[in-house]
Amino acid sequence: MTASPPRASSASIPSAGAVEAAATPPGAPGPGAGAGLGFALGAYGLWGVLPVFFLLMSPSGPFEIVAWRIVFSLVFCVVLLAVTRGFPSFVALLRQPRLVATMGLAGALIVVNWTTFIVATLAGHVVEAALGYFMNPIVTILLAVVVLRERLRPAQWVAVGLSVVAVAVIVVGTGRVPWVSLVLAFSFGLYGLVKKQVGGRVDAIGGLTLETMLLTPVAAAALVVMGVTGIGGGLVFGTVGVLHTLTVISSGIVTAVPLLFFAAATRRLPLATIGLTQYLAPVLQLIVGVVLLHEEMPVTRWIGFAIVWLALIVLTVDVIVNSRRQRNPESMSRIANETPE
């Protein structure tokens, strides 16, 4: 969402089962629920306004921005590990070759996501990027069927079918395939699928540190090539002004802070609330694209968005109804067991 919203950045919902968990109706709010909601809104709010942040980095090109984002994210994460004394647990991660390889694959996928998002932002396709993140939960369900061989309920198939119709409407109306939306949705969906393999063994900062550490040699090589050859507009960092330089440096903070907020929110809120707040990011991106950047929104694009929103409503209602059905038998059984003899 980008750091990309782990709807989500690590926040992506990795499977149909996880989508279901994310939409499970919450119970009574626990201690710290108010703070948790603040953290969730802060995380998705920051991810939602990322297009504005990346536009402030102009005239740097998208590939330079991505490269510096990787480097400065690693720097900031190392500082965080030092402050929180997290190096021992991080070193323990490095001693697990299979986990490191999995995180390397996750890092490659998130770079595809980051690059696509930044290219889209600088090229004036923020609305199309927002559509991709609206589609992400549905793409995640589709990946669960194809990769994990999960079986879907009829309503979930309806949601997937509606998304296909939405893409078809946009293709017919605009005369082109919304590649930005599809690449963002599938890259982030696959990222979540890969991260599912490591589960809770890696926390947010440890994961981002490991991913960016593995990517930094590639980013450094790209910066050298751009600086020597001028490819992609060359290197602009440090040549424009203090504000631009500070903005680029702060990309590491902007990448890590929403992840910290998200991690704090998940410890305080029911997953249902997290699942609902995730849509704040693409809503804000849509507002940025239409209101601030005045991107075109022809009727067919509005229709496509409306169909995707309908698919999300169908998905959410189905998950809520199904989760209640599953919970009711358990509640009745518990009541029966607690009845005095």
User: How far are the Cα atoms of 16, 92, 123, 317, 329 from residue 129, in angstroms, in the given order?
Assistant: 22, 37, 11, 25, 42
* DSSP assignment of 146-197: HTT-PPPPHHHHHHHHHHHHHHHHHHHHHSS--HHHHHHHHHHHHHHHHHHT
User: How far are the Cα atoms of 4, 256, 276 from residue 74, in angstroms, in the given order?
Assistant: 16, 9, 30
Q: Shortest CA distance to 238 belongs to which of 226, 254, 249?
A: 249
Give residue for tokens 């984002």. Answer: 69
pTM of the model: 0.82
pLDDT of residue 136: 85
Report cis status (omega within 30 of 0) of the bond before 5.
no
- Distant-in-sequence, close-in-space partners of 158: CB < 8 Å, separation ≥ 6: 311, 314
- Token pair in block for residue 62: 């998208």
User: How far are the Cα atoms of 4, 9, 68, 203 from residue 111, in angstroms, in the given order?
Assistant: 10, 11, 12, 19
Rg for the chain, CA atoms, rounded: 21
Identify the sign of the CA torsion 157, 315, 169, 3.
Answer: negative
CA–CA separation, 258 and 201 (whole Å): 20
- Token pair in block for residue 69: 């984002």
The proportion of the chain whose per-residue pLDDT surpasses 70, expressed as a percent, equals 84
CA–CA separation, 200 and 134 (whole Å): 25
The arithmetic mean of pLDDT across residues 319-335, rounded, is 60
* Lowest-pLDDT range of 11-25, 63-77, 91-105, 180-194: 11-25
* Lowest-pLDDT range of 16-25, 86-95, 276-285, 301-310: 16-25
- Token pair in block for residue 134: 């609206």
pLDDT of residue 25: 38
Nearest 5 degrees, angle CA 49-CA 37-CA 135?
Answer: 50
Q: Shortest CA distance to 219 belongs to which of 241, 251, 196?
A: 251
The answer, yes or no, to whether residue 156 has pLDDT greater than 50, is: yes
Element (H, E) at 140: helix 126-146
- Distant-in-sequence, close-in-space partners of 190: CB < 8 Å, separation ≥ 6: 109, 143
Q: How far apart are the first and last CA of the chain?
A: 54
The answer, yes or no, to whether residue 139 has pLDDT greater than 80, is: yes
CB atoms within 10 A of CB 242: 8
Helix, strand, coil percentages in the chain from 3-state DSSP, rounded to 5 = 75, 0, 25
Q: Shortest CA distance to 39 belongs to which of 288, 341, 331, 259?
A: 259
The answer, yes or no, to whether residue 316 has pLDDT greater than 50, is: yes
The answer, yes or no, to whether residue 276 has pLDDT greater than 90, is: no
Q: Shortest CA distance to 48 belongs to which of 217, 288, 291?
A: 288
The arithmetic mean of pLDDT across residues 237-253, rounded, is 91
One-letter amino acid of 139: V
- Token pair in block for residue 240: 């424009």
pLDDT of residue 120: 95
The answer, yes or no, to whether residue 324 has pLDDT greater than 90, is: no
The arithmetic mean of pLDDT across residues 292-306, rounded, is 91
- Token pair in block for residue 299: 């009727």
pLDDT of residue 32: 64
Phi and psi torsions of 134, nearest 5°: -65, -35
**Contact of 70 with 211, CB cutoff 8 Å:** no
